[in-house]
Chains A and B, each alone.
Chain A
Amino acid sequence: MIEEKLEKEIQDLIETQIKPLLKIHGGGIRFIKITDTGTVQLAFEGACLGCPLKSVTYALGVRQRLLQHPEIHEVEIEGVRLSKAALNRVEQTFSGYTFWEN
């Protein structure tokens, strides 16, 4: 029941706050699952799939938003990889800021 609630919250975030941004450029994203350790697993769709800047979208536009949820500890998107150094930098830089309404 708790897992269902969390999944619904995350899917709602994706539908209302992330997908509309990606759609501007013809992109999309698909929810796969949340693991027991609080990792959200996703897959890019549409124009995002073939975009060389998808790692930036992932780090700033998707991961950073979902990490604001207290029960989410990591976000992964199939086929997108960035160094821990880059992810830490994004986290530190945007700590306390948000592009979205909470």
Chain B
Amino acid sequence: MIEKDVFIFDNVIHMYDYSDENLKTKESDFDRQYHLNKVLGRRQKSENDIYASWDPVKGFARKWTSSDLGKLLFDDSGTDMAMAQAVPLFDLYKDGFAPVKAQYEFSKAFPDRVLFCGAVDPMYPSLEGALEEMEKQVKEMGAKSIKIYNAHIDGKSWACDDPEIAYPLYEKGRELGMKIFQFHKGNPITRASLRDLSPLDIERAAMDFPDVFFGIHHLAVPYFEETVWIASRYPNVFLVLSGIGHTPMVAPRTFKEWVGRLLRDVGSDRILWGSEAPLLGNPKPILEWIWNMEIDEQLQEDYGYPEITESDKRKILAENQARLFNIDIEAKKKELCSN
């Protein structure tokens, strides 16, 4: 917790495997370096002395262990619960850059604190394979959600509203009683096309599957405007601040504009905190910044954005995620305290 009683439930952390051994080809290193250098400057300098060095390869470009990440999150950051999300980037990494098995193991290492989010891709190796894998991840590994990354560098990008490729995934999820899918949108972390990561393909899917929840990550930046309109129109769409949560360190006004706009046009009930830890470092300074943030008077004047309340912040930092995954925060506080 931060501020003594503010529960923190992080929607997305990853047990990364950036190791050389996990690279699919030699060329995959190009994408790995691109991603690591893109985020390197956003970490807090002091924490690199603890968790890594400024050298991305020696520091973060490695296979993370449960004890590494557990220390960063639960001992040092104020995070109470988190969802470990696999990322199905099979065009670059043999096991995906956040492997299914590693996320599962992290959830088993901290069963009272971590939920497991699996991942599948209908192109790797096939739709049938993805459906079988989803069944295994939900039934045998206890996946509470499934992560999707539909843009690839090898000509295998697909659309999330494709009735032949995508809809069987949602139908299978329904059949399994697992109805929360999450999508990397915008912000490519590989050489994949930005266009393939437009959130517009979530709209039709959300309309055709009104009982399924669709999470859009990264506010799909640079498709923020589209994201606001989609989330406004479909109550089964939720938005995760992953990847852009550290923006306040560089551009606080930009972050306040995003949040203010969401408060005005979507509401605070469907915004979820997500840190991407450990990639962007210890999330604690950002959590404290968000807890203390205000929507500037000038933004209220110019755009009509409402004030952000303590209730909004509690929803964003934990309550929305808890509601989505049926976690009783007060009961969990007691459980964690007694443990």
Give A residues with C-beta under 8 Å from B. 49-52, 54-55, 59, 79, 81-86
Contacts and interface: CB of A to CB of B under 8 A. Distances in A.
B274 to A, nearest CB: 23
Contacts of A49: 235
A54 B265 CA distance: 8
Contact of A83 (B232, B234, B300): B300
Instruction: Categorize the interface residue count of chain B.
Output: 20 to 34
Contacts of A85: 297, 300-301, 304
B233 A52 contact: yes
Judged by DSSP, the binding face of A is helix
Judged by DSSP, the binding face of B is helix
A81 B233 contact: no
Q: Which 10 pairs across A and B sit closest by C-beta, in order of nearness?
A: A86-B304, A83-B300, A81-B306, A52-B232, A50-B233, A85-B301, A82-B304, A85-B300, A52-B265, A83-B304
B307 interface: yes
Contacts of B301: 83, 85-86
B214 interface: no
Contacts of B295: 83
B229 interface: yes
Contacts of B269: 79
Contacts of A86: 300-301, 303-304
A55 B232 contact: no
Interface of B: 228-229, 232-235, 263-265, 267, 269, 295, 297, 300-301, 303-307
28 contacts: A50-B232, A50-B234, A50-B235, A51-B232, A52-B228, A52-B229, A52-B232, A52-B233, A54-B232, A54-B265, A55-B264, A55-B265, A55-B304, A59-B304, A79-B269, A81-B263, A81-B264, A82-B264, A82-B304, A82-B306, A83-B300, A83-B304, A83-B305, A83-B306, A85-B297, A85-B300, A85-B301, A86-B304
Nearest to A85: B301
Contacts of B306: 81-83
